[in-house]
A = this chain, B = another copy of it.
Amino acid sequence: MAFSTISILGVGLLGGSIGLAAKAAGINCRIKGYGHRASTVQRALEIGAIDEGTSDPKDAVRSADLVVLCTPVGVFPGLLQELGESLSPGAVVTDVGSTKRSVVRLAEAGLPKLTHFVGSHPMAGSERRGVEYARADLFQNAMCILTPTERTHAASLQAVGEFWQQLGMRLTTLDPDTHDRLLADVSHLPHAVAAALVWMQEETALGLTGKGFLDTTRVAGGDGGLWRDIFLDNRDHVLASIGRLKQTLTHLEGLMERQDGQTLAQWLDAAAARREDLVRRKVQELES
Contact = CB atoms under 8 A, between A and B. Distances in A.
Interface of A: 123, 127, 142-143, 145, 172, 182-183, 185-187, 189-202, 204-210, 212-225, 227-228, 231-232, 235, 238-239, 242, 244-249, 252-253, 256-257, 259, 261, 264-272, 274-276, 278-279, 282
B215 A264 contact: no
Copies in the complex: 2
A268 B195 CA distance: 7
Contact of A275 (B221, B265, B267): B221
A268 B227 contact: yes
Given A198-B274, A259-B235, A190 B208 contact: no
Contacts of A143: 208, 210
Nearest to A272: B221
B215 A232 contact: no
Contacts of A218: 212, 215-216, 275
B186 A266 contact: no
10 contacts: A194-B216, A195-B272, A196-B245, A199-B248, A216-B216, A221-B275, A224-B265, A225-B265, A232-B264, A242-B252
